[in-house]
Amino acid sequence: MINSIKGLWIGIILILFCFENGDDIRYFQSSTIPIGDSMDIITVSIDDSQESHEIFLRRTSSGTPLRYFIELQTGICFDNKCRPLDIVIYWNITGRYLGFELLDGEFLSKYDHTPFTEKEYEELHHLLADPFLPLGNFEFEELVTIPDTVSHSVDGVSGATAKDVLEYVVEGAAYTTHKLWNVVHGPIREQVMRLTESSFDPFLFRKILQSTDQSDRTWALERVSLLSELDDAVIEALIGVFHEEEYFQSYLLLKSLSSHQLESEDLQLKLFDLVGKVDQSIENLIFDKLADASHLSPAVVDHSISILKDLTGAQLVRLLKLYSHHRVKKAELLGELSRIIPHENKYVDNQVLQFLKKNSDSFD
């Protein structure tokens, strides 16, 4: 029962916008930024080494990208037989597959030109939305097993879909599924992502980070370093990621921050302020990242000294290593550390004593 409800919910999310209106057939997922009333379209040409395409970009009047699409007009050909394919394919601004349209009476068909059923359109939509299918590993000729004693026809009319790929294609439309999946997840997708990267700014970053799609959020976090400056709104959005306590996204965010961005005193302060408020594994990542900064902000040093007595033994040891790495030498630090010893934890006590012995002669 639970699995049935889960499956129904996934289906509702996946086919968020699917309808047939007149002769048009449309299947869409939700996009990061919904299409508004005010938008324009620009075109970009791309040569993917096999076919040349024009990519169309829908964007707001202010230039914010919304979605990309191509008008694919090609043929599904095998053994000197071809079936025309005329379809519009859409990508989200993060390169994620968004959906497809068949306009002006166009439709997809399988063996003997039998049109797709609604269930088969939904299956195709589901397959195209999965970037992890192994269809890119199969050659065109491997899709269908065709006996030598029967005539050949497109999509294996007289043959059978190969067992190795049966679960990855719409049965009876192996070639069509293979073609569309490789278009969706091929060079055009890479170009789409580069086009969005060229428009990447704090506003767009925050919009993508608000997406309900986890892959969109991951895409944005992987590209934090593309932001030349981190304004207050972006820093607050970044700190919000840590409060969600998802290790991978926190790791990804810290890994993506550039050395230039770490020069921000506000960012360093907000990161250090997370100590004691997040999981220890994330906390350790924050200490490591602050060690990667070109310097430790004076404001962070002053703040850290003021809370030394409140830190756990593990936090204090990590902080001492951070001080040593950045060669922090302040008289106030010497005084506060002296008040901590003797510490109840012998290991921590020894680490504090070693730090004082090594640095006490050179404190400001």
Q: How far from the centroid of its chain's Cα atoms is residue 134's Cα?
A: 20
Q: Which whole number is the average pLDDT over 5-29?
A: 55
Beta partners for residue 74, in sequence order: 85
302, 268 contact by CB (below 8 A): no
- Percent of the chain residues topping a pLDDT of 90: 62
pLDDT of residue 72: 93
Residue 195 lies in a domain: no
Least confident of 88-92, 108-112, 126-130: 108-112
Residue 109 lies in a domain: yes
**Residues 140, 250 share a domain:** no
**Residues 22, 146 share a domain:** yes
Q: Which whole number is the average pLDDT over 257-265?
A: 95
Least confident of 60-69, 198-207, 233-242, 252-261: 60-69
**Residues 165, 241 share a domain:** no
Of 184 and 164, the structure prediction assigns the larger pLDDT to: 184
**Residues 264, 160 share a domain:** no
pLDDT of residue 14: 45
pLDDT of residue 157: 37
**Residues 176, 46 share a domain:** yes
**Residues 217, 298 share a domain:** yes
Least confident of 41-45, 292-296, 304-308: 41-45
pLDDT band at 163; cut points 50, 70, 90: low
Element (H, E) at 42: strand 39-47
User: Which of 283, 332, 326, 282 is closest to 303 using CA atoms?
Assistant: 332
pLDDT band at 172; cut points 50, 70, 90: confident
**Residues 214, 96 share a domain:** no
What is d(CA 292, CA 284) in angstroms, rounded to the nearest whole number?
Answer: 13
Q: Residue 261's domain is classified under what CATH number?
A: 1.25.10.10
Tokens 């399988």 found at: 110
**Residues 211, 174 share a domain:** no
| The pLDDT of residue 140 is above 60 | yes
Q: Which whole number is the average pLDDT over 116-134?
A: 95
Residue 337 lies in a domain: yes
pLDDT of residue 145: 58
Beta partners for residue 28, in sequence order: 17, 99
Domain that holds residue 303: 200-362
Q: Which whole number is the average pLDDT over 258-281?
A: 95
**Residues 46, 64 share a domain:** yes
**Number of domains composing the chain:** 2
pLDDT of residue 276: 92
pLDDT band at 331; cut points 50, 70, 90: confident
**Residues 224, 124 share a domain:** no
**Residues 120, 66 share a domain:** yes
| The pLDDT of residue 340 is above 50 | yes
Residues 6+ apart with CB under 8 A from 21: none
| The pLDDT of residue 133 is above 70 | yes
| The pLDDT of residue 60 is above 90 | no
**Residues 11, 146 share a domain:** yes
Rounded to whole angstroms, the maximal C-alpha distance in the chain is: 92
The residue among 190, 224, 249 that closes a domain is 190
Residue 334 lies in a domain: yes
Average pLDDT, the chain: 84
The residue among 190, 221, 252 that closes a domain is 190
Least confident of 28-32, 36-40, 307-311: 36-40
- pTM beyond 0.75, yes or no: yes
pLDDT of residue 21: 46
The residue among 155, 190, 225 that closes a domain is 190
209, 87 contact by CB (below 8 A): no
